[in-house]
Chain A
Amino acid sequence: MIRSDILKELAPTIAEHLVVCNIGLPSQELHLIDDRATNFYMLGTMGLASSIGLGLALAQDKKVISIDGDGSVLTNFGTLPTIANNVADNFILLIIDNGSYGSTGDQPTYAGRKTSLAAVAEACGCENVVECRAEDTVQAVKDAIASDKMTIIVSKCESGNIKVPVITMDPVTIRDRFMGAVKA
């Protein structure tokens, strides 16, 4: 399974929750699969999906799922201690770990080699860390939603991309539509 397969399977499960989606192909794929007002698409700023998601979860009560990637978490490694020390039980960080920088041509990441993001998250103090196979991702997210505990999920999948169009929606429209969904 590659990331887009996971997103296709996952879409109905996350549809009613606030989703902050990582820059590049992940956002483009989610936009193609199931565009919703509850989706915040990052058009730039690699690495901050987890930070935006945590800030959002701390600021209001609805469940927030940040869909991140291994490369992006490596870019913003400081996020994991911040998450661990500012527990928001309405926050789920889903790291789709395909061991590569997918949006830039599948260059390998260190997470695909020796570095375990799940082990790093635990070492940073995150209390509910789940590493799962791509095939088990939907169940892991369902369990995390049901648990009402802040959870970090590292879903190990194969690298690879599908052809998707870029998002042409204006960023202010994305943000305004999303804020409407947050308030609804």
Chain B
Amino acid sequence: MVANDISFVTTVPCKQLAGVIDAVDASPDIYHIPSNKEDEGMGLCAGAFMGGKRPAIIMQNTAIGVTINTLVTLTQFYRMPLPMLISYRGELGEPVACQVEMAVHTKALLAQLNIPTYHFHREEDVEELDKILKYTFMCNKPVAILTDASFWKGY
């Protein structure tokens, strides 16, 4: 993220992404601003983008539902870039049944919103991250990177 000049990151806590959130918090190149809800975080990112920073949000897929209005009427309507690094809960290896209920809707919702979506399942999938970030800031769209439990097992 730092290599792509991302310097403003908002996060909502996630167990699967706890290590990433710690790294974001520790990075001297990133202003880390935890938000209380993902749509609030997307508002912060919109402001930071207009202020000249490259933003990103780190969130869980369970929040796709509560952010649809913001993604559509703010991020997409005003044509703003937003990499969404998403913990894809409810996939293989998931211990909590309730997480599956949102997992089965995640890709369908993202597809309905015409959000370019990448799914990191194997460790080497991370090699695409650099290209995905460049693509996001090239096309000024929200872009979803779903990262599942199998992917994180390697870390």
A binds B: yes
Binding site for B on A (CB under 8 A): 20, 40, 42-45, 47-48, 50-60, 64, 76, 78-79, 81-82, 86, 171-172, 174-175, 178-179, 182-183
Per CB-CB distance, the 10 closest pairs between chain A and chain B, nearest first, are A55-B47, A59-B51, A44-B73, A51-B43, A78-B36, A48-B43, A56-B47, A55-B44, A52-B47, A60-B51
Which one of A76, A79, A175 contacts B50 once the chains associate, using CB atoms below 8 Å? A175
Q: List 11 A-B contacts (CB under 8 A).
A: A45-B39, A48-B46, A52-B74, A55-B45, A55-B50, A57-B47, A59-B53, A76-B37, A79-B36, A175-B79, A178-B50
B residues near A64, Cβ cutoff 8 Å: 47
Residue from A43, A55, A183 within 8 A of B46 (CB atoms): A55
B120 is an interface residue with CB less than 8 A from chain A: no
In the bound assembly, the distance between CA atoms of A175 and B75 in angstroms comes to: 11
* Complex CA distance for A53 and B43, rounded to whole angstroms: 8
Q: Are A79 and B40 in contact (CB under 8 A)?
A: yes
Contact status A171-B43, CB under 8 Å = no
Report if B80 contacts A (CB, 8 A): yes
| Cβ–Cβ < 8 Å partners of A78 in chain B | 35-37, 40
Contact: B70 with A45, CB < 8 Å? yes
Complex Cα distance, B42 from A55, in Å, reads: 10
**Contact between A175 and B70, CB atoms less than 8 A apart:** no
Task: Give the residue name and chain of the B residue nearest to A48 (CB).
Answer: B43
Judged by a CB distance under 8 angstroms, whether B155 is at the interface is: no
Determine whether the beta carbon of B40 is less than 8 Å from that of A179. Answer: no
User: Which single member of A54, A174, A183 contacts B52 (CB below 8 Å)?
Assistant: A183
Residues in B neighbouring A43, C-beta threshold 8 A: 73, 77
| In the bound complex, CA of A175 to CA of B55 (Å) | 16
Contacts of B63 in A (CB 8 A): none
Q: Which residue of A lies closest to B8 (CB)?
A: A59
A55, A56, A59, A174 interface centre (most CB from chain B within 10 Å):
A55
List of A residues within 8 angstroms of B31 by Cβ: 58
